[in-house]
Structure 1
Amino acid sequence: MTESSTASSKTNKSLYTLWPIVGFVRPYTKRAIGAVIALVFVAAISLSIGQAVKLVIDEGFVAQSESQLAAAIGLMSVLIFLMAAGTFIRFYLMSWMGERVSADIRKAVFERLISLHPSYFEENLSGEIMSRLTTDTTLLQSIIGSSFSMALRSALTLVGGLVMLLITNIKLSLIVLSGIPFVLLPMVLFGRRVRSLSRKSQDSVADVGAYAGEIIQNIKIVQSYTREREEKIAFGDEVNAAFEIARKRIRQRASLIAVVILLVFTAISMMLWVGGTDVMRGNMSAGDLGAFVFYAIMVSMSLGTLSEVYGELQRAAGAAERLMELLSVEPQIKSPNKPQVLNVGSATSALEFNKLSFSYPSRPEQLALKNIQLNIKKGETIALVGPSGAGKTTLFELLERFYDPLEGEVRVFGCALKTLNIQAARQTIGLVPQQPILFSADVWHNIRYGRPEASDEEVQAAARQAHAHQFIQALPQGYGSFLGEQGVRLSGGQKQRIAIARAILKDPAILLLDEATSALDAESEQHVQAALNDLMKNRTTLIIAHRLSTVIHADRIVLLDNGCIVKVGTHLELLATSPLYKRLCDLQFRNG
């Protein structure tokens, strides 16, 4: 492939990456057409002002007629007023389009992100994803709302100005036209470099955001280990790296603008010398030269604007490329086109794990679960115990269908999990995680997250059952109290009770407890355990337990080790038959 063909393919790729944005503009076609009409109108009025300039010079200044001068200036004033009105309409409509399309892109990206499988977020930094959602969409908003309008307006005035130049004086026009290829060449050459550097610059800014977000999120660890100085230096290095890339991009854009200005005004200077000579020799009127200078300046300003906007479009191409990458990611976990209807009442088994094997996408060579075979009846309480890394949490994640197994299947109330609508299946499950997750909102929102349509009385009843009502009432605004990021204003035990209240409110058919009382003190644990015991009645419950004292009364205990089921039985049966279970019990109860 030749160098020219490579350059052409790169340019085409640049244009291609911006093309999908047109799809977001399409719903607002009427406004876009209105903006274009206003833009064409303004361009036409701008070109007409050149003729008004000619009248002012020839019929006013040269003819020494005050009445003709007044008429010419009056005409120019009307044209300027019309241009201002058209500019207002054009600016408003284009800015509205930019904001609206940017908001739609943000929504589309967020909707795609929220539907993606958890493994995607294991492989991609949250800070980089947020940079795409905010910085890149803001850049596109600027392009659609401002730069695109400037580019179209400049293109129209460029073409119109060139036509008027040819009409006014062909000889001078050829001088101006001879300089245009020299202007376009650096635009293409510098534009490619700007696009490449823009992509790198946006990636580096995303890295800065990701790094800062991680440090701020873990600020207690940073300060506890007195790593502030090292983190300041490391963050400074990230910022400087981003600045260096931005500096190179700015230098390329500045060079482009400077070269265009130099070439354009060199051509204008030559044109003025030739035109001035023709006026002095009587070959053209002063008004023609004035109009010609006006159109020449308009053409040069249009070229300058186009060169600047071209650099912005290259940046937008980089942003669009990053956003389209996100929008093109397909969720690996999807509902079937014709999902099976889940009938909880008619099933005899609540859960079945049939010959289940699984490995995480980030560790494909290491099986987290191996040939798991387990049948759980409705209303049964099952405890999952075993050393760390045995596969307990992995079973929960497969049950929630955050991942699909490599082999075997999960069945929920007699239906294969893959055949069910994901939302319908997850609605039957309530999860209380070991590390409670709270949102930056009030208590109402955090508990009602389990069932958004629940009344205030139902929320309070769930809080009472989770033994959370008393401390919630003591908060500054009660249930309306803002909890801060990740519930930072609550203690660990309080956060856990809010999470338990959320699960109680959801009233699921299957309850998953991942060491749900681990963050509670002894007194709170006693109260919450009593509440959980009431909640578990007539409900299928799976409990991940590290403290075996909390599960000795389970219907069955499933002992896992290295991704395999070692033994299944009651507490006493496992004590008698499983050396591993007996060792775990001895370690805990001896310490107790």
Structure 2
Amino acid sequence: MSFLRPYKVKVFAAVVFLFIGSLAWLSLGQGVKLMVDEGFIADNAARLNEIILLIVAITIVSASAVFCRFYLMTWLGERVSADIRLKVYSHLLTLSPSFFASQRTGEVISRFTADSTLLQSVVGSSLSMALRSSVTVLGGIIMMGFTSVKLTGLVLLAVPLVLGPVAFFGNKVRRFSRESQDKVGDLGAYIDETLHEIHTVQAYTHEAEDNVAFATRVEAVMSVAKGRIKYRALLISTVMLLSISAIAFVTWVGAQDVMLGNISAGELSAFMFYAVMVAGAVATISEVFSEIQRASGATERLIELSQVPKDIIELAQPQQLMGKTHGALSLSELVFAYPSEPSNAVINHLNVEIKAGERVALVGPSGAGKSTLFELLLRFYQPKSGLISLDGIDIANLSLSQLRQQYALVPQESVIFAASVFENVSYGRIDATAEEVKQACIAAKADEFIVDFPQGYETYLGERGVRLSGGQKQRIAIARAILADRPVLLLDEATSALDAVSEVKVKQALETLMQGRTTLIIAHRLATVINVDRILVLDKGQLVAAGTHNQLLQSSELYREFANLQLLSEQPET
């Protein structure tokens, strides 16, 4: 209802046309009464013609109202579905990686597609039918009352018999519908995962096992669907049985009254017309009620997404970085544990000072906290305690947007979107011109392979950049960072995916890029750390040593061991 509120004029118009259409259909009952009593029984052909013309006119009015109602309700269904998708997606973009670490992407996508489509169908169609049928039931009962109070009373006695199954089976349908949507979401997540990793699936000839796992999930969906279908079928058939039985009984009573002269044949015909309309409307309500219950389950899943609380809180009036950002970083008594393992501190009372423009390499064993430190600098996560400051300002006091605009990130696994070369590079600065994008690619040594593509910078790179080699992806990512032109660089072993020739070229580009910028490099290779200003050795979230490569070889046993095992496998260039 909150999503319908902005379109209250259209909702009001739809309801008006719904009433016009329903009341027009209801008035046909009086036409039937007149046709029987004043036409057939009175044997008055002229009057019969007049009544037929009246019925045709009423039908035209009703059909016109139906067109308007159907158009408006269907539009509202589409609009509400679109607005819900926009709201949920916008909210998801504000959530930190901790949410996505606990949710499967395919499950989230299922809520966007299957759930919102079901909701769209209900708002645009089922809800309209339910409202129309409700008006028909209410209006039909009122008109029946004008025709015969006695017969109407008998009909009303049957109403509780019909409503009972609607309430009981409707709740069952809702519960099974929610469970069904969850199973469909799990199915979508599995499809998303296996198709995205199709190279691994086929390389390990895992197709048969994946088929079995997929079939198990399909059957789980089918198993839940059986319960939903059973209760829905019981709901519809029970309502139909009780409604028609009630009408048959009331018709028998009415026929006795006609024979006794208590009511006319026309009045009984009108009453039966209304009774059939009411029964049909009740049957419709029972059918669409189960659809509405299904949509209710889908809506709950969408609402859950839109109401996931943000775990990174921004100040209502954040502090501003004034003037040029120099990029001086300070970490004071920093403590952090991932939400999934709150007792396991990944960063443990870390204290680090990084000067503006300094090049710093982070080394250490796996799990030392190097990548986590990048995520904390970007405020993807909130530390348990301690302080991170940029140019002397606590980053928690800055808006997330302004903070993250100070960093250019080049991850170890390059992210390439299913778009053109130009769109991928300009992702770093959306207002960049074609020439600026080209210059960034030249600096990253990417232009030389881009110009060989059939469409050059407009070449579509495919899902996750499948048309590029690992080295080409990395150079596109570096071009993006160059174009962004931000004061702090975060390089997660940015040359790891490059061959020897490409590595030399990219290192030249990175040398230019790092000039005058604070640079933090997660390093696994000697060539990366040999020329930095300082190396920080991390172990179990703590700083255990700091210095140049040569200094650490003399002073740090951990660094020396690490260098022998991982860094010195590649000799430095002389």
TM-score (norm 1): 0.94
Distance 1:506 1:58 in 2: 84
Aligned residue for 1:247? 226
CA contact (8 A) 1:343 1:413 kept: no
Determine helix, strand or coil for the equivalent of 1:449.
helix
**Pairing partner for 2:488 from 480, 486, 510:** 510
TM-score (norm 2): 0.97
Determine helix, strand or coil for the equivalent of 2:330.
strand
User: What is the Cα deviation at residue 120 of structure 1?
Assistant: 0.7
CA contact (8 A) 2:416 2:424 kept: yes
Aligned residue for 1:531? 509
Matched, 1:304 2:283: yes
**Pairing partner for 2:35 from 56, 62, 85:** 56
Aligned residue for 2:335? 357
User: What is the Cα deviation at residue 253 of structure 1?
Assistant: 0.7
Distance 1:191 1:532 in 2: 64
Determine helix, strand or coil for the equivalent of 2:4.
helix
Instruction: Supply the AA of the counterpart residue of 1:443.
Output: V
Matched, 1:475 2:475: no
Aligned residue for 2:429? 451
Distance 2:120 2:568 in 1: 63
Aligned residue for 1:370? 348
Q: 1:467-521 CA distances to partner (integer Å, 9 max, x unpaired)?
A: 1112112122111111111111111111111110110000000001000010111
CA contact (8 A) 2:526 2:570 kept: no
Aligned residue for 1:208? 187
Segments of structure 2 that go 5 or more residues without pairing to the other structure are none
User: What is the Cα deviation at residue 589 of structure 1?
Assistant: 2.4
Determine helix, strand or coil for the equivalent of 2:3.
helix
Aligned residue for 2:119? 140
CA contact (8 A) 2:453 2:459 kept: yes
Aligned residue for 2:299? 320
Aligned residue for 1:16? none
Distance 2:136 2:570 in 1: 85
Distance 2:560 2:358 in 1: 23
Give 1:99-178 correspondences, 5 Å limit. Answer: 99-178=78-157
User: What is the Cα deviation at residue 346 of structure 1?
Assistant: 7.5
Give 1:377-396 correspondences, 5 Å limit. Answer: 377-396=355-374
User: What is the Cα deviation at residue 162 of structure 1?
Assistant: 0.4
Instruction: Supply the AA of the counterpart residue of 2:119.
Output: L
Distance 1:584 1:273 in 2: 95
CA contact (8 A) 1:432 1:503 kept: yes
Determine helix, strand or coil for the equivalent of 1:333.
coil
Runs of at least 4 residues of structure 1 off by over 6 A? none
Aligned residue for 1:576? 554
Flag the 1:113–1:590 CA change in 2: closer, same or farther, 3 A: closer
Aligned residue for 2:12? 33
CA contact (8 A) 2:525 2:568 kept: no
User: What is the Cα deviation at residue 344 of structure 1?
Assistant: 5.6
Instruction: Supply the AA of the counterpart residue of 1:239.
Output: V
Q: 1:17-57 CA distances to partner (integer Å, 9 max, x unpaired)?
A: xxxxx111110010000001001111110111111111222
User: What is the Cα deviation at residue 61 of structure 1?
Assistant: 1.7
Give 1:550-589 correspondences, 5 Å limit. Answer: 550-587=528-565, 588-589=567-568
Instruction: Supply the AA of the counterpart residue of 1:85.
Output: S
Give 1:419-430 correspondences, 5 Å limit. Answer: 419-430=397-408
Q: Which moved more, 1:283-292 or 1:498-507?
A: 283-292
Distance 1:144 1:365 in 2: 46
Give 1:322-341 correspondences, 5 Å limit. Answer: 322-341=301-320
Instruction: Supply the AA of the counterpart residue of 1:544.
Output: I
CA contact (8 A) 1:334 1:422 kept: no
User: What is the Cα deviation at residue 231 of structure 1?
Assistant: 0.8
Aligned residue for 1:11? none
User: What is the Cα deviation at residue 281 of structure 1?
Assistant: 3.7
Segments of structure 1 that go 5 or more residues without pairing to the other structure are 1-21
Aligned residue for 2:465? 487
Distance 2:5 2:462 in 1: 40
CA contact (8 A) 2:537 2:544 kept: yes
Q: Which moved more, 1:360-369 or 1:514-523?
A: 360-369
Matched, 1:432 2:414: no
Aligned residue for 2:420? 442
CA contact (8 A) 2:162 2:243 kept: yes
Aligned residue for 1:220? 199
> RMSD of the TM alignment (CA)?
1.3
Distance 1:338 1:480 in 2: 41
Matched, 1:547 2:525: yes
Matched, 1:466 2:444: yes
User: What is the Cα deviation at residue 590 of structure 1?
Assistant: 4.9
Flag the 1:346–1:226 CA change in 2: closer, same or farther, 3 A: closer
Distance 2:473 2:489 in 1: 18
Q: 1:187-232 CA distances to partner (integer Å, 9 max, x unpaired)?
A: 1111111111111111111111111111111111111111111110
Distance 2:131 2:546 in 1: 73
Matched, 1:232 2:201: no
**Pairing partner for 1:86 from 55, 60, 65:** 65
Determine helix, strand or coil for the equivalent of 1:24.
coil
User: What is the Cα deviation at residue 65 of structure 1?
Assistant: 2.0
Distance 2:33 2:349 in 1: 89
Percent identity over the alignment?
50
CA contact (8 A) 2:325 2:487 kept: no
Distance 2:472 2:268 in 1: 82
Instruction: Supply the AA of the counterpart residue of 1:489.
Output: R
